[in-house]
Structure 1
Amino acid sequence: MDELNFDINTLKISDIGEKKLVSFITEKIGFENFSNEFNGFKEIWDDAAVLDLGDFYLTFTSDILIEKYHFPSWLTYCSYGFKAVSVNMSDLAAMGSKPVGIIISLSLPGNLSIDSFDQLLDGIVHACNYYNVPLIGGDTNEGNEIIISPTVIGKNKKNEILYKYGFKKGDLLAITGPIGFSALAFQFYETKKTDLTNALITEFAFDESKIFEDILKKIELPFGKIEEGQFLSKFSSVSAATDISDGLASELGEMINENRKFNQTIEVNKNVFNKSKSNKNEFNKNKSNKNSFDPNYLKNGLITIGDYDDIYNFHPKNFGFRVYENRIPFIKEIKRLSKILNKNYLNVLFNFGEDFELVFTVDKNNIDEFKKKYESKFPPCYVIGEVTDSDLIELELMDGSTKILNPKGYEHFKD
Structure 2
Amino acid sequence: AAQQPRWPDPRRAADVADLLHRAAPVVTATRTARLREELAAVARGEAFLLQGGDCAESFTENTDAHKTANLRTLVDMAGVLARRTGLPVVKIARMAGQYAKPRSRDVDAHGLPSYRGDLVNSAEPTLAARTPDPARMLRAHADAADATALIRRLGDGALPEAREVFVSHEALILDYERSSLTVDDSGPEPRLASGLGHFLWIGERTRQLDGAHVAFAALLANPVGLKIGPGTTPEEALAYVRRLDPHVEPGRLTLISRMGHTRIRDVLPPIVEKVAASGHEVVWQCDPMHANTYTAAGGFKTRKVDEIADEIAGFFEVHRRIGTHPGGIHLELTGDPVTECVGGAAGTAEADLPARYRTACDPRLNGDQARELARTVAALATDGVEPRKAAVLR
TM-score (norm 1): 0.22
- Bigger strand share: 1
TM-score by length of 2: 0.23
